[in-house]
Structure 1
Amino acid sequence: MKPATSWLAGALLALSLSACATVDANDGGPGEVEIRTGRIEQITLTQMQTNHDSGVGAVLGGVGGAALGSLVGRGTGRDVAMVAGALGGALSGNYEEKKHYDQPREAQQIIVRMRSGVLVSVTQPVNPSLGQGMAVYIEGSGNGARVVPQS
């Protein structure tokens, strides 16, 4: 009798836990993207900052600085030199990474008039296939929004 009772209790627990996993009607579930349609009113060339801040420069600089600091002195002085080298190397590595890779990119600000009459502005990398008056989709929202031509 005991195995049947434990099996029944386990099945009831699993059933009650699976009932808690619901998807909100407003959320739409994972992987779904809102797509809106409209026409391009205006395209203005601009620049956008990249967010190329991977931290690789800081990590490599810190490791290199600690390695160089380990060559200095002995005992506590060596430990202090390693910490100072790691901090200095991390700062200089981060600076070099930003200087070489974090440059502004050419972009376009696209103003789209939606079917409802609302104007939506999206700034994205240059897409030469877009033109004024063209029917387009706006995929996504917020920083992830993109304007693409309708096929």
Structure 2
Amino acid sequence: MKNIASWLTITLVSLVLCACAAVDAGSGGAGEMEIRSGKIEQITMTQMQTNHDSGVGAILGGLAGVGIGSLIGSGTGRDVAMVAGALAGAAGGNYAEKKKYDQPQQAQQIIVRTKSGVLVSVTQPVNAALSKGQSVYIEGTGNEARVVPQS
């Protein structure tokens, strides 16, 4: 009985620790970043899917499920209820988090002609300070790329 509770505790602590992300140059931390410059050729309104898979909903739901499961029965039945509660709570918490926070958000697809003549397309959240013909910087590459006005 205590062995199951110990393993459950270790598993939950492991999940919490694994949810912490390492910061590197590609995720906004210290490091080098490529910056290109150019002029905006076109701005098109669109939507982009958010990605809030932080796991917080699953962790909180799992903890709530363990708490509720611990109120049921005694002995082995209680342990089973705690595990079942943790699983059901984690699934429910993850579903609730996705339902609430994974909604498409307004975005803009910006096409920039760099000084070398290359066209670059970046989709990012709406930035009202950007307009067609404006001189801009393109910071980063890939999914991390952002268009920002030159000051």
Superposition TM-score, scaled by structure 2 size: 0.76
Partner of 1:150: 150
1:48 aligns with 2:24: no
Structure 1 position 70, deviation (Å): 1.3
Take 2:128 and 2:141, find their aligned partners in 1: how far apart are those partners?
Answer: 21
Take 2:116 and 2:60, find their aligned partners in 1: how far apart are those partners?
Answer: 52
Partner of 1:60: 60
Partner of 1:88: 88
Paired AA for residue 91 in structure 1: A
- Identity in percent: 75
Runs of 4+ in 1 over 3 A off after TM superposition: none
Aligned residues: 122
Listed as ranges, the gaps of 5+ residues in structure 1 are 1-29
Take 1:96 and 1:47, find their aligned partners in 2: how far apart are those partners?
Answer: 22
Structure 1 position 90, deviation (Å): 0.4
Structure 1 position 32, deviation (Å): 2.2
Take 2:84 and 2:32, find their aligned partners in 1: how far apart are those partners?
Answer: 49
**Which protein shows a greater Rg?**
1
Listed as ranges, the gaps of 5+ residues in structure 2 are 1-29
1:134 aligns with 2:134: yes
Take 1:101 and 1:33, find their aligned partners in 2: how far apart are those partners?
Answer: 29
Take 1:137 and 1:36, find their aligned partners in 2: how far apart are those partners?
Answer: 6
CA RMSD of aligned residues (A): 1.2
Paired AA for residue 112 in structure 1: V
